[in-house]
Amino acid sequence: MYNITSKIAEEFISDSEIRDTMLYAQENSANRALVKEILHKARECKGLSHREAAVLLECNQPDLIEEMFELAREIKHKFYGNRIVMFAPLYLSNYCINGCVYCPYHGKNKTIRRKKLSQEEIRQEVIALQDMGHKRLALEAGEHPVHNPIEYILESIKTIYSIKHKNGAIRRVNVNIAATTVENYRRLRDAGIGTYILFQETYNKTNYEVLHPTGPKSDYAYHTEAMDRAMQGGIDDVGIGVLFGLETYRYDFIGLLMHAEHLEATYGVGPHTISVPRLCMADDIDTADFKNAVPDEVFYRIVAIIRIAVPYTGMIISTRESQQSRARLLELGISQISGGSRTSVGGYVNEETPEENSAQFDVADHRTLDEIVEWLLDLNHIPSFCTACYREGRTGDRFMSLIKNGQIANCCLPNALLTLKEYLKDYASPQVREKGEAMIKRLLQSVPNEKARATADKYLNAIDDGKRDFRF
Ligand code: SAM
């Protein structure tokens, strides 16, 4: 039985509610009046229910789809402006005891090179990432009680935060590790993590059990209830996502929104971010073996409708997506992207040959961070290295109220410009520096509050004089 605030996976992600919603959406897919009504409601920026969003996704009338794209662009601009937050993944270890059939880390894979970084190797990787200009990382690891226990993850976080190299610093460490206990979530919170990220992979329990035949991850309820335990452990910024391509996109799109609704209804704060990875080729994984690949055009609609349905939630895409698809997705609601990423363990220091492969999947965007920053500037997006909210204690509902009160323009815009300025001074090529400085000059004028504008100007001059790490 569907119960949005239940703590039991099969009640807040109810299979029958998802199937009823799919049916309802199909029956109403040609109902123009209903689609118009839903779009009208969405314009108030208070979000949509999973049922309403599912109707939008089923609609195949070109003019209404164009209206959805247009609305997604407007909402993105209203809440996020044209800022794009930059991050990079850091793979700590690919030892894993799970049996996920789509992931090359699965325990039975004998062809992948297994590797776990020592604390000294982490230092070297972090220095390489700092030298690119990164300030925000997403830690990634397989699940292995002996090689990657929680103590290893905690020690690694401590190491990462302690490294100060030239003007570099990692100011926010997000963590993407397997579902764990309330006690371990508390320890992660105490270690000062930013967002705890865990992808559901699929919300379809039957299919989930086929895709995860062995290992601790095979427990659907334990995995699905992980964010509830994270919240109990005091982590109020959680990031959810599904791996598109495993299950029909219709099922997982609805499940994803139901999960977001559950967190909002139960804890008063929805997910901080939603990730939308698509399945990629990898060491012993062939995407042709999976029958639910999501075509680009459908994927763009999924992203746009998520933007409309949960206007305050950050949306992330990784280098799994190509430059071309990223350009489109940035317009439709994405607020965070990775850049210069390596998905291999130790890949920032040592470029691997194909034989040495330890990577999790093949990336589609191979550009350097500086190339991506230049590309964003050319497309009139502001590359932002901001980590201010979490460092100022604006997490969970305090972050949401900042966004809901529209203080973005006086707070997030100056923070984006200040961190871009640091990047330009310390890491950019001369040509990127020139383009970036021009953008800063232009956009400083659009900070509405006079006092905030003057303070930002003062901080920008101080960065020119060699000072760092200012924030609103
Ligand atoms: N081991 C943890 C877990 O199981 O949740 C950490 C996450 S894993 C390092 C990061 C994510 O990569 C997975 O949650 C999965 O969605 C994604 N992934 C795995 N195999 C992939 C593939 N072949 N293509 C694209 N993404 C993949």
CA of 225 to the centre of ligand 1 (A): 18
CB 140 near ligand 1, within 6 Å: yes
Identify any residues that bridge with 201 across adjacent strands, giving them in sequence order: 242
Distance between Cα 366 and ligand 1 center (Å): 19
Question: H or E segment at 158?
Answer: helix 150-162
3-class DSSP state of 101: coil
What whole-number distance in Å separates Cα of residue 216 and Cα of residue 97? 8
* Separation CA 93–CA 176 (nearest Å): 12
Q: What is the DSSP string of 205-257?
A: HHHHHHH--SSGGG-HHHHHTHHHHHHHTT---EEEEB-BTSS-HHHHHHHHH
> Is 142 in contact with 93 (CB distance < 8 Å)?
yes
The residues near 370 (Cβ < 8 Å, ≥ 6 apart) are: 132, 133, 427, 428, 429, 432
The answer, yes or no, to whether any atom of ligand 1 lies below 6 A from the CB of 269, is no
Distance separating alpha carbons of residues 261 and 269, to the nearest angstrom: 9
Contact 349, 124 (CB under 8 A): yes
Give distance in angstroms: CA of 443 to centre of ligand 1.
38
Q: Is 279 in the pocket of ligand 1 (CB under 6 A)?
A: yes
Contact 174, 239 (CB under 8 A): yes
Q: What is the pLDDT of residues 197-241, one digit of tens each?
A: 999 999 999 999 999 999 999 999 999 999 999 999 999 999 999
CA atoms of 467 and 307, how far apart (whole Å): 37
CA distances from 438 to 107, 224, 292, 377, 451 (A): 51, 46, 44, 10, 22
Strand partners, 174: 138
CA of 139 to the centre of ligand 1 (A): 12
Give the up-direction half-sphere exposure of residue 25: CA atoms within 13 A in the CB hemisphere. Answer: 23
- Dist CA 204 CA 18 (whole Å): 9
> What do you get for the CA distance between the two ends of the chain, in Å?
46
User: For ligand 1, is residue 201 a contact (CB within 6 Å)?
Assistant: yes
* 406-440 pLDDT per residue, tens: 677 789 999 999 999 999 999 999 999 999 999 99
What spacing in Å lies between the alpha carbon of 103 and ligand 1's midpoint?
6
Q: Which residue has the tokens 């035949």?
A: 213
Q: Is 283 in the pocket of ligand 1 (CB under 6 A)?
A: no
Residue whose Cα lies nearest atom 11 of ligand 1: it is: 199
Predicted confidence pLDDT, tens digits, the chain (472 residues): 999 999 999 999 999 999 999 999 999 999 999 999 999 999 999 999 999 999 999 999 999 999 999 999 999 998 888 999 999 999 999 999 999 999 999 999 999 999 999 999 999 999 999 999 999 999 999 999 999 999 999 999 999 999 999 999 999 999 999 999 999 999 999 999 999 999 999 999 999 999 999 999 999 999 999 999 999 999 999 999 999 999 999 999 999 999 999 999 999 999 999 999 999 999 999 999 999 999 999 999 999 999 999 999 999 999 999 999 999 999 999 999 999 999 999 999 998 776 678 888 989 999 999 999 999 999 999 999 999 998 998 888 888 777 777 677 789 999 999 999 999 999 999 999 999 999 999 999 999 999 999 999 999 999 999 999 999 9
